[in-house]
Amino acid sequence: MVGILALLSGCDKDRARREAANVVRPVGTPAINIYHRPTLLFQVFGDRGDPRVLPVAAIIDSAIVGIGLSEYGWKSLDSMYFAAGDSLFLYHGGQAAGRAAIVRGMWTKDGPLQTLPGCTAMRPIATVRLATQGIGSDSAIELLATNKALVTRGVAHEVFPQAEIDRIARAAGHDLGALNKIENSELDSLDFSARALSTGATGGLTLASSFVDPGAGDLGPGAGHSTNVLALLDFIDGKWQPTYRHVASGEARTVEFQRLLDHVDLDGDGTDEVILESWRYAAPNELVVLRFRAGQWHESLRVPLGWCMDSKKP
């Protein structure tokens, strides 16, 4: 009887520990069962010589969801996914871009890898060693990664001169600005960039048009006027049409800024998801996932990118 009670007590403790690991955090994010080892999406960033990896989302039954875990759950994730010697699959521009070998996880006998003043509950971060292909030689790294290999699409053969991409993207930005009472002169004073993406959304290329304030949410104490326009364009019915529109203009402290991070087919449906980063004054950055449905790009997931899980910490 004593042995049976001890066994039951151990089972209860184990059950409680597993349930605690799946407490929803932050509020509103569905809990995931980390013990099923789902495919996770990671952001790889920082200096090429010493990059960091942060878990940002999970892919479960072809759905892209946030990672809802308690502090204990995050520590379990660290031990399960960030063991030294394990490796991640890297992606850039919708294509495989090499591997990242885990050097060390967040919590070891030597103490935590990273700390933040006033933060009592950190999200796990790992250091990695990169073996990349086809991503250039910039000192700063910004890649996506998964713990299980994704099926990537072939690259579209359609080729556009950069000057033509710039022309189409700038004109589309001006049109969106006019619809929102933003003068061309104001847009042209911002940092402009344009990219052609092989997303598979319409069988051709998707163009990205970006106008962003170089101060972008960091204008002193959030003072002054700021503007951001981000648009995706697809060739539909014989012309380039905006299929995603983000236009924000006003007091700097109120403007949400968005920029394109990358794209890759996360759910295996043959069309890439487009990954954005969103930020605003005095708030943590967020990762935004767009999916193409019914001829438009729609936001399907938004998760915080902050390292600290404490309320109101970056």
219 vs 176: CA distance, rounded Å: 24
DSSP state of 34: G
User: How do residues 172-194 score in pLDDT, each as one tens digit?
Assistant: 999 999 999 999 999 999 999 99
What does the block give as tokens for 13? 């403790």
C-alpha distances out from residue 302 to 12, 57, 309, Å: 35, 9, 16
Q: What's the full length of the chain, in residues?
A: 314
198 vs 204: CA distance, rounded Å: 7
70 vs 54: CA distance, rounded Å: 16
24 vs 10: CA distance, rounded Å: 24
| Across 139-146, average pLDDT | 92
What are the boundaries of each domain within the chain? 21-146, 162-304
pTM of the model: 0.86
How is domain 162-304 classified at the architecture level of CATH?
Answer: Beta Barrel (2.40)
What does the block give as tokens for 274? 């487009």
Helix axes 71-81, 2-21, angle to 10 degrees: 90
User: How do residues 149-160 score in pLDDT, each as one tens digit?
Assistant: 999 987 766 778
